[in-house]
A and B are shown apart, each in its own frame.
Chain A
Amino acid sequence: MSKVLIIDDSGVMRKIIQRNIVQAGLLVDQFVEAGDGREGLEKVKQNNDLNLILCDWNMPNMTGIEFVKAFRSSDKKTPVVMITTEGGETRTEEARNSGANGYLTKPFTTDQLLRKLGDYLLVK
């Protein structure tokens, strides 16, 4: 069983990410969604069996980077990959230093997503 939490303030983007994961042949049994970092932390509490967390950066209420820092204060293991429109070294560095394992910039192709997430999920 593999369970993935997708945190993004755009419901459309959450659906696109799910569709691309399926198209890439990555095996996921259940997707859990959250619209911002705060909701992400609630979902984490309700789901202690997450295999992977995908997290946007710019979101209302609590940003992705704030989420990663808060999440890492209690969970050092579950992998987190940022999926955001913003790239650049400063951002990727900050994400890594805050405890993110990977970084994927939007827009992305199914192949790029597969390459970034292939380490954390089984492939068909």
Chain B
Amino acid sequence: MQAVVDGVVESIVESTKSVFKTMISMDVKSDAPFYEEERMIKTDVMALVSFTGEYNGTISIFCRAGTAIKIASNMLGTPMNALDGVVKDAIGEVANMIAGNVKTGLIDTLGEMTLTIPLVIAGVSFSISTFSGDYEAIVVSSLSCSSNDSWLMIPFDADGEKIYVGLMVKKIS
């Protein structure tokens, strides 16, 4: 399982760099991944895409509101100034592109997978545990995740902006 996780992490790093360079005109540097208990995560924006297949899991972007706004502004080539539906749409597409490329890159090792449409949750420094509804419907159904589960977080730095791409993955027996 560790080899699988390492492979997914490597693929996430590659895909994230490529998406940011190509679509967002930002060069991102990755840092060492670490585990974070879900209930400890505080974020303004969370954009997640789940995958199902031989392995089930979720790939999610976590970032501050200002970072999300900057990403959306770069993507659109127009300055955005609030964390609105357009910014949420943009971050959802970033998550979608990262997950889609990871899926394609790992088809030989992980097998065919189905991706969900991105789900974006935005607020001010929210904790995931305070959300139910949609988030649980997607994540819990594919992972039976409890608040004790940890995300493997991969940190990225884009001109001082911090972006985290989180991963949860489980083999279906």
Contact = CB atoms under 8 A, between A and B. Distances in A.
Interface residues on B, range: 20 to 34
A64 B138 CA distance: 22
Interface stretch (A25-33, A43-51, A74-82, A106-114): A106-114
Contacts of A9: 117
Given A16-B23, A60-B117, A85-B97, A105 B89 contact: no
A84 interface: yes
Contacts, number: 62
A109 B23 CA distance: 8
Interface of B is mostly: helix
B22 interface: yes
B86 A88 contact: no
Nearest to B78: A15
Among A19, A58, A87, A105, the one with the most B-chain Cβ atoms within 10 Å of its Cβ is A58
B72 A12 contact: yes
B22 A107 contact: yes
A9 B96 CA distance: 11
Contacts of B97: 85, 106-107
A85 B101 CA distance: 6
A66 interface: no
B18 interface: yes
B70 to A, nearest CB: 14
Contacts of B90: 10, 12
Interface residues of A, number: 23
Interface in B58-93: 72, 75-77, 86, 89-90, 92-93
Given A12-B76, A60-B117, A107-B19, 17 more contacts: A11-B86, A12-B89, A13-B93, A16-B23, A16-B75, A16-B76, A58-B100, A86-B104, A87-B104, A90-B107, A90-B112, A91-B104, A105-B100, A105-B101, A105-B104, A107-B18, A107-B101
11 contacts: A9-B117, A10-B89, A10-B93, A11-B86, A12-B72, A12-B89, A58-B96, A85-B97, A86-B103, A87-B100, A107-B22
